[in-house]
Amino acid sequence: MKKIKIGQIVRPFGLKGEVKVKLYTDFPEQRFAVGMPLFLTTAKEDIDVVVSSFRMHQGFALVSFEGKPSIDDIEIYRNCELSIDEAKIEHDEDDIYYFDLVECTVVDESGAVLGKISEVIDTPAHAVIRIVGEGKNFLLPYVDAFIIDEDMEEKKITVRLIEGML
């Protein structure tokens, strides 16, 4: 089973077991639907939790979990990440999600391997991919000017680099 990170608990919110969640998803209403099973990742283990309430507040998700009705029950989960089973995500074949890009091999126009995508960073202007290769670690805007081809079956992204980029 592949787990997809969908958010990080920032802190408790109020006294009744809600947590403030920084979102890693564009679909919070689907990912945090009441009854949705999630994984709460602590330093030691993954804990199965089930969403009991969800609402949006100032760009953050406010979420509570079944069996954790008070601030005392959830305070220890500050800064923990929340994940979902990839099988729970409705995924059209033609759509590419950020999590699909992670671990893709990146090659230039000549076919030379530049590295693998380790992270996708969402910025206000556009997404940026972090490419980690042998002795190289660089960022590349994920825009049409640089992305030539996306082969998700082979997990390969072909990019166009400009002089001085590396």
Final residue in a domain of this structure, among 57, 88, 119: 88
Listed in sequence order, the residues at least 6 apart from 59 whose beta carbon sits closer than 8 Å to its beta carbon are: 23
Each residue of 60-105: pLDDT tens digit?
999 999 999 999 999 999 999 999 998 888 777 778 888 889 999 9
| Residues 70 and 39 placed together within one structural domain of the fold | yes
Return the percentage of the chain with pLDDT > 70, whole number.
100
| Residues 10 and 82 placed together within one structural domain of the fold | yes
Based on the structure, what is the number of domains in the chain? 2
pLDDT beneath 50: ranges in the chain: none
Given 3-state DSSP classes, what are the helix, strand and coil percentages for the chain, each rounded to the nearest 5?
Answer: 10, 50, 40
pTM: 0.72
Q: What is the pLDDT of residue 130?
A: 95
150-155 long-range contacts (CB < 8 A, ≥24 apart) are 150/96, 152/96, 152/100, 152/104, 155/103, 155/104, 155/105
Residue 126: which domain range? 98-159
| Residues 16 and 58 placed together within one structural domain of the fold | yes
In a domain, 93, yes or no: no
CATH number for position 80: 2.40.30.60
